[in-house]
Amino acid sequence: MKLNIAVLAGDGIGPEVTAQSIKVLKAIALEFDHSFSFKYAPVGAIAIDETGNPLPEATLEQCKNSDAILFGAIGDPKYDNDPSAKVRPEQGLLALRKSLGLYANIRPVKAYDTLLSKSPLKKDIIKGTDISIYRELTGGIYFGKKETSADGDTASDLCEYSRIEIERVAHLAFKAAQSRRKKLTLIDKANVLETSRLWRKVVKEVATNYKDIELDFLFVDNAAMQMILNPKQFDVILTENMFGDIISDEASVIGGSIGLLASASVGDKYAMFEPIHGSYPQATNKGIANPIASILSAAMLLDHFDLNDEADLIRTAVDKSLALHITTPDLNTKYDNITTSKVGDFIADFISNPKDSNHNFSNIHLGQSTII
């Protein structure tokens, strides 16, 4: 298969982790005789510095002319710490989602057996957790009308949803549940919010087309508690934009590091793949940023094009890296010589040589493997 991939590495650790994803995708292309081309474009703070616009028109056009988008991270402290800034890096990401119609964000959450001790939650609570979160991505309060009074003392953000916005992401979530454990949980605040009451009404109607799926409902405050008390109860979660943002970040503690969580943002025509973590500027260029979320996002990219064997090989390589402690410091307190690049090297090398004796645990940490 031939794929043209737009690379929007972005800010902070974005370029470092995205470089590892590209390294892995190149190994996949070589192993399976595919052709992947990568074209780079700026977004976020770096784009503001270069053009004054967090999403330059040339970047948007590059995305529209590509088969898929590989995204890094976005954000810069100089904007985070300036509440008066009119132009912000995050505006580029929101505009990208809206312009490309990326209305559904899919975030897998998994508890890896080799990392159960890394989570602040008890092992018996998280073991076996496997959740897929479907978050509506282009509506709600993030995209509603925003106003501040002339005196600066009052502000408002409008949360608004339409039937079609709810239906289209609901259908994706129900179809995903059919290939999993056949359970879908809608998270809302229908006891207070009119938008949530519309969500509940529309999702119940959509559910009549999926009679094999068990549908239940949780208010978002209870869901936040249940995610900590009993995450294994969840299979597919469906929710609106802001609730999904919060719940999926909370779920990152299950795996032990936000550096493990990948995501796909999809629409009817375009698709983008990115780790859920931020730009983590404190770690930039230090070789300590965890690239696994970005690499797993690349696996989701392959899944999107039905390259499932290729995607599974990446996941197997990731599992092997975790089992052998070929991980960055957020997950690895035993070894201090494993850098961002070395994790990418290992996973790419495993793809090319899955049975190579150089994957012997001792040799790797002694630096005798060809991959380190």
- Phi/psi-derived region of residue 233, left when phi > 0, alpha when psi is between -120 and 50, beta in every other case: alpha
Confirm whether residue 135 is marked as ligand binding.
Answer: yes
Mean pLDDT of 286-294: 96
**What's residue 83's pLDDT?**
74
Give percent of the chain above pLDDT 90.
Answer: 85
Confirm whether residue 315 is marked as ligand binding.
Answer: no
Read off the pLDDT of residues 156-213 as tens digits, 9 standing for 90 and up.
999 999 999 999 999 999 999 999 999 999 999 999 999 999 999 999 999 999 999 9
Mean pLDDT of 29-39: 98
pLDDT classification of 123: cutoffs 50, 70, 90: very high
Confirm whether residue 249 is marked as ligand binding.
Answer: yes
Residue 369 has pLDDT above 50, yes or no: no
Residue 98 has pLDDT above 80, yes or no: yes
**What's residue 366's pLDDT?**
41
pLDDT classification of 114: cutoffs 50, 70, 90: confident
Structure tokens at 139: 């509506």
Mean pLDDT of 144-160: 95
**What's residue 368's pLDDT?**
42
DSSP-derived letter for residue 74 is -
Give the other-Cβ count within 10 Å of 103's Cβ: 22
pLDDT classification of 358: cutoffs 50, 70, 90: low
DSSP-derived letter for residue 80 is H
Read off the pLDDT of residues 305-322 as tens digits, 9 standing for 90 and up.
999 999 999 999 999 999
Termini Cα distance of the chain? 30
Of 79, 112, 134, 142, which one is the catalytic site residue? 142
Residue type for position 86: K
**What's residue 348's pLDDT?**
97
For 236-269, give the DSSP string. Answer: EEEE-HHHHHHHHHHHHHHHT-GGG-EEEEE-SS
Distance CA 357, CA 372 (A): 14
Residues 6+ apart with CB under 8 A from 277: 13, 73, 258, 259, 261, 290, 293
The SS3 call for residue 185 is: strand
Of 245, 303, 345, 349, which one is the catalytic site residue? 245
The SS3 call for residue 256 is: coil
Structure tokens at 330: 């957020």
Mean pLDDT of 82-103: 91
> With contact defined as beta carbons under 8 Å apart, do 101 and 262 qualify?
no
Distance CA 110, CA 255 (A): 6
Helix axes 194-207, 163-178, angle to 10 degrees: 50
| Strand 262-266 with 236-239, pairing | unpaired
Mean pLDDT of 345-358: 84
Taking Cα atoms as reference points, which of 146, 112, 143 lies closest to residue 129?
Answer: 112
Of 79, 189, 345, 349, which one is the catalytic site residue? 189
Name the helix (H) or strand (E) containing 238. strand 236-239
Residue 252 has pLDDT above 70, yes or no: yes
- In the 3-class helix/strand/coil scheme, how is 320-333 assigned residue by residue? HHHHCCCCCCCCCC
245 is catalytic: yes
Question: For all residues of the chain together, what is the average pLDDT?
Answer: 93
> With contact defined as beta carbons under 8 Å apart, do 103 and 94 qualify?
no
Confirm whether residue 97 is marked as ligand binding.
Answer: yes
Distance CA 95, CA 130 (A): 31
Give percent of the chain above pLDDT 70.
Answer: 95
Distance CA 263, CA 241 (A): 14
Helix axes 308-323, 292-304, angle to 10 degrees: 160
Read off the pLDDT of residues 124-139 as tens digits, 9 standing for 90 and up.
999 999 999 999 999 9
Taking Cα atoms as reference points, which of 156, 165, 137 lies closest to residue 274?
Answer: 137
Give the other-Cβ count within 10 Å of 258's Cβ: 19
Read off the pLDDT of residues 319-333 as tens digits, 9 standing for 90 and up.
999 999 999 988 876
Mean pLDDT of 74-98: 88
**What's residue 256's pLDDT?**
84
142 is catalytic: yes
Of 67, 80, 130, 249, which one is the catalytic site residue? 249
124 is catalytic: no
Distance CA 57, CA 59 (A): 5
CA distances (Å), origin 150, targets 32, 147, 154, 155: 60, 9, 8, 10
Residue 302 has pLDDT above 90, yes or no: yes
